[in-house]
Homo-oligomer: A and B are copies of this chain.
Amino acid sequence: MDVIEFTPTPDEYAWTFGGVAPVRRIRPGTALKLWSDDAFCGRLRSTADLASASLDMPFVNPQTGPFFVEGAEPGDTLVLHLADLTPARSWGASSLIPFFGGLTGTDRTATLQPPLAERTWIYEVDSDARTVAFQSASGDLTIPLPLEPMLGTVGVAPAAGEVRAALVPDAFGGNMDTPEMKAGTTVYLRVNVEGALFSIGDGHYRQGEGESCGTAVEGAMNSTILVELLKGEVSGGGPAWPRLESDDHLGVVGSARPLEDAWRAGQVDAVGWLAQLQGLDTLDAYQLLSQISEVPLANVVDVNYSVATLLPKRLLPPAEVYGGVHDRLRRLAATL
């Protein structure tokens, strides 16, 4: 297995999905060892570093990539297995950004109220204990929280010639901000352009479901990712929405506004997937999904909101998913 390491210099950061020349060409079957900066470009390093003064909009959420996958054509399915995610810094940062977040008026949910105060929190990483520590500004409360690394952003170049800011989640993936995007997970993405042109970034050392305040415990990340490709004729033309597979779940992430539409989009794709895997008609699959799906929110703060629909494998008869690629990559990851 080819192993390629890549750490972008700041001038190599990608700020969009689409519209960027690839940093590397790789073959399916490659393992990537990638470093990605945090969504703040590492600029929030103390509680005195406030977002509006420190960030250089719109240059936030830098992506590592894009990678050109040889042989990938529109209608194929790109397979990314997250073999390992390890924090690349000893601290993470979270911040309240004016008019950004789920419990404040925003540029769209526009109100006439003044913004919430800005504030930055620094979370120290304890690698041995595998924790990140919340430290309150008010009072004097320190709470070590379990380290649960994930990637907020994984995506390919969009369809229809579009170029989207790295802050956007949509059918091409992108900034979905779902805690399901953790080590051990395989992501299936429909290829929209030659080479797929995928990027990753936005490491989170942990995140609550919904990412309420707008930012997780943001941190630079070392990611090991195995790349595979399923040709369109095999994979049925690529999924409408990003699909996930772990040892425990199958999943689909829908992204839209309002939040019920993010849910609907993912659910309808999951109904179709379940029907196909279990040989059911649509209404039986709808019924079965209704009684078994787990639906954790991903984000209610980004340009589109995202919701994951998860189907627990333990509740379903065994079924071959995409030719068993997840299991194969899982085993391969163990050998790295």
**Do B288 and A96 touch across chains, with their CB atoms under 8 A apart?**
no
**Do A291 and B94 touch across chains, with their CB atoms under 8 A apart?**
yes
Q: Which of A28-36, A80-88, A295-303 is found at the contact surface with chain B?
A: A295-303
The answer to whether the Cβ of A283 comes within 8 Å of any Cβ in the partner chain is: yes
Copies of this chain held together in the complex? 4
A88-125 contact mask (Cβ, 8 Å, vs B): 1 or 0: 00000010100000111101111111111101010000
Cβ-closest chain B residue relative to A112? B103
**Do A103 and B160 touch across chains, with their CB atoms under 8 A apart?**
no
The answer to whether the Cβ of A194 comes within 8 Å of any Cβ in the partner chain is: no
The answer to whether the Cβ of A316 comes within 8 Å of any Cβ in the partner chain is: yes
Q: Looking at the complex, which one of B109, B119, B139 makes contact with A287 (CB distance below 8 Å)? A: B119
Q: Looking at the complex, which one of B138, B213, B280 makes contact with A290 (CB distance below 8 Å)? A: B213
The answer to whether the Cβ of A271 comes within 8 Å of any Cβ in the partner chain is: yes
Within 8 A of B (CB), among A231-276: 240, 254, 256-261, 263-265, 267-269, 271
**Do A102 and B264 touch across chains, with their CB atoms under 8 A apart?**
yes
Q: Taking the nearest CB of chain B, how far is it from the CB of A42, in angstroms?
A: 19
A113 with B116, Cβ < 8 A, contacts A103-B267, A103-B271, A161-B15 known: yes
Chain B residues within an 8 Å CB radius of A257: 256-258, 260-261
The count of residues in chain A whose C-beta lies closer than 8 Å to any C-beta of chain B is 93
Within 8 A of B (CB), among A8-63: 15-16, 18-19, 58
Nearest 7 CB-CB pairings of A with B: A258-B258, A138-B281, A259-B259, A163-B163, A58-B160, A213-B290, A110-B268
Using a CB–CB cutoff of 8 Å, the interface residues on chain A facing chain B are 15-16, 18-19, 58, 94, 96, 102-105, 107-117, 119, 121, 134, 136-139, 141, 143, 145-146, 159-165, 206-217, 240, 254, 256-261, 263-265, 267-269, 271, 278-284, 286-297, 300, 305, 307, 309, 315-317
